[in-house]
Structure 1
């Protein structure tokens, strides 16, 4: 695969989908592709399927056209899966992918096993949004498309501070800035700004945190009851695991939040040594070397102990 145009020339219907609980890269990459098709291929009937997105991303062009109703049996000529490591991660949109006449995947998760018919998968890339940029004709990247791509890159690189940031990443970011986007506002409004309740729940997570493995690992857990008490949803917990990770001398951060029925969503981040994707894959999840996630059922303390045991094998 060299560009999206190779697949759009002969199709009439296209569906675009990303992973469940969409984050900045998922939303940005999907909306960038959606806006590209809507702008340059007006005769194509295109739909973007995502679960409801956080309000901070609704400034992006045509975000109001995202479809979160996954019912129906439409057979699309083409399904483009982005920022998604496997069919299961597509959630309710998976059946559209499975029924589509042709499928394409654009992704940077190291756990991706090339599940589409055509795959553009580069684990070393900073984000799926960076890969979308590579697949688009540069002269056709509008300001609106640039905003989507830049937002996705900002969120998967932690504003260009994570190790996945490369020279290419910075060069692409520079090119997007020249499209006239308000890049300081995108960073401030979507990455740094938190609501009062978000700051309170982060404070609680930090107060409850514990150190393990001689200070090389830090963990914290937020329960459903606490989320209700602080009036927050899972989407409001973004940033907590990253804040844990920047603790001095910590190599790995583990953050759990309860999702119901004794199940916890685990987010992991590492600094330099540990490949957290190995732990994630062990428990049916996936992700990147320095950032990965998965779900586990059971007692929170027991889950933390098991994860710490797995991490200890790499840290030692």
Structure 2
């Protein structure tokens, strides 16, 4: 396993910047890439828009600037809404690698010269690609989660950045961005900022978006097709989740669950739950929204997503249960019954609210 260094924290507010990824010292990034022949890129399991956009942007950039390098992108199969992004069909996901193809290519990926892990703060979130990451000669983590642990040899972690896609924009040579790379970056940014509605949207974010849309792609189509548009099935599931949600703590919290029976009835997969927890947070008077679904009935394992306003830091709750994220958006997986998990979360929410009262 490569030697780990302490995460490099770069904060735009006080402009503290440390090597190796200083914007004014781009040669360090270039040296890492030019010193490698085989390069891997991966994002977190159950990839969202930012994971897909940032990894594809970096993948396309490296392939364009260094066509002689062998670059491989590992991701769990992203939602089909991202299929129009360049490089989507070249992603290596578990279905392609397992079982027969996986054994055939495993040796090929076991000793990569350089590996970039994007949009994740914990090695365990890499899934199958984690094995290739740990065996790589040089590793890099690029992330914006406040809970990021800095697990790579080089760590570029900016907690107040809107998205990992924004960080990739900072790290690559702007002059070499083309329309396809711009579309990937734009997709990642709009998904992690809620189309520039979330509080993580900064002036810098808007300036970057302004530069990206100048490449001439149909940015409204990307917003509608990848962010707002839902299938009939997704709308059915969202309607059921909202209809069966419960309010508690005097209406300040809302929670809903989709268990294995509902998932089997709708033949639903995890990507069908996108947007549910965000919709729940729009409920008047609600400070925290909690949505969970049963990812493994045999293990009583639930995937939990939380959203909040400024009054509760859900990243602290997620970290307590082995997850992570941001102050207003976080998640984790936990075994137990729905009610037990909800009670555990409720205790932590109440603790934070009581601390603020005192």
TM-score range, shorter chain: over 0.9
Residues 21-53 of structure 1: CA deviation (Å, up to 9, x unaligned): 111000100000000011111000000000111
Are 2:51 and 1:15 equivalent residues in the alignment? no
Q: CA deviation at 1:114?
A: 1.1
Question: What is the aligned counterpart of 2:239 among 188, 191, 203?
Answer: 203
Distance 1:159 1:40 in 2: 29
Structure 1 residue 284 corresponds to structure 2 residue 311 = no
- Measure the CA separation in 1 of the matches of 2:123 and 2:31: 23
- Correspondence for 1:38: 63
Larger Rg: 2
Deviation readout 1:107-139 (Å, 9 max, x if unpaired): 001111211111110010111000000001111
Shift of 1:5: 2.0
- Which blocks of at least 5 consecutive residues in structure 1 are unaligned? none
Match of 2:338 among 300, 306, 310: 300
Matched position secondary structure for 1:46: strand
SS of equivalent residue, structure 1 residue 48: strand
Counterpart for residue 154 of structure 2:
118
Aligned to 1:157: 193
Cα distance in 1 for residues equivalent to 2:211 and 2:61: 17
Does 1-10 or 239-248 show the bigger shift?
1-10
TM-score of the superposed pair, with normalisation by structure 1: 0.98
Indicate conservation of the 8 Å contact 1:285/1:294, yes or no: yes
Aligned-pair distance for 1:315? Answer: 2.1
Return the match for 2:179 from 139, 143, 152: 143
Tell me which stretches of 4 or more aligned residues in structure 1 moved more than 6 Å.
none
Q: 1:57 aligns with which of 62, 67, 82?
A: 82
Residue matched to 1:247: 283
**Partner residue, 2:54:** 29
**Cα deviations by residue, 1:251-288 (Å, 9 ceiling, x for unpaired):** 11000100012110000001111110000011100111
Q: Supply the distance in 2 between the matched residues of 1:147 and 1:68 (Cα, whole angstroms).
A: 22
Give the Cα–Cα distance (whole angstroms) in 2 for the partners of residues 223 and 145 of structure 1.
38
Query: What is the distance in 1 between the residues matched to 2:189 and 2:220?
Result: 14
**Aligned partners of 1:173 and 1:224: how far apart in 2?**
40
**Mapping of 1:250-289 within 5 angstroms?**
250-260=286-296, 261=298, 262-289=300-327
Task: Tell me, in whole angstroms, the C-alpha distance in 2 between the residues paired with 1:54 and 1:174.
Answer: 26
Alignment of 1:60-71 (within 5 A): 60-69=85-94, 71=102
The 2-side partners of 1:48 and 1:86 are apart by: 18
State how 1:224-239 maps to structure 2 within 5 Å: 224-239=260-275
Normalized against structure 2, the TM-score is what? 0.87
Match of 1:80 in 2: 116
Look up the SS of the partner of 1:247 in the other structure.
coil
**Is 1:277–1:291's contact at 8 Å kept on the other side of the alignment?**
yes
3-state SS, counterpart of residue 155 of structure 1: helix
Name structure 2 gaps, 5 residues minimum. 1-20
TM superposition shift of 1:144: 0.2
